[in-house]
Amino acid sequence: MEKRTKHPQENILETFDFNGVIVELVEWIDTIWCGKVSDPADEKLLEVFQAVTAKELVNERLEDSWDVAISINHLSKELPPGVMFGFLVGTENQSKEYDIYKVSAQKFMRIRMNDETAKALGHEPFRGGRPPYEWIGEQIAPKYGYKYADETKPVFEYYGFWNNNTYSHEFVYLYVPVVKDNVN
Q: Output 162-165 pairs: Cβ under 8 A, ≥24 positions apart.
A: 162/65, 162/67
pTM over cut 0.85 = yes
Give residues with Cβ within 8 angstroms of 65, minimum separation 6.
160, 161, 162
pLDDT in tens, 37-84: 998 878 888 888 888 887 778 899 888 888 899 999 888 888 888 999
CATH of 10-180, one of 3.40.109.10, 3.40.50.1700, 3.30.460.80, 3.20.80.10: 3.20.80.10
Q: How confident is the model at residue 1 (pLDDT cuts 50, 70, 90)?
A: very low
Helix (H, G, I), strand (E, B) or coil at 180: strand
The domain segmentation of the chain, as residue ranges, is 10-180
Q: Are 65 and 160 contacting, i.e. CB atoms less than 8 angstroms apart? A: yes
Average pLDDT, integer, range 13-35: 95
d(CA 144, CA 156): 20
| Number of neighbouring beta carbons within 10 Å of residue 14 | 12
pLDDT in tens, 125-177: 888 778 899 999 999 999 999 999 988 899 999 888 777 777 777 788 999 99
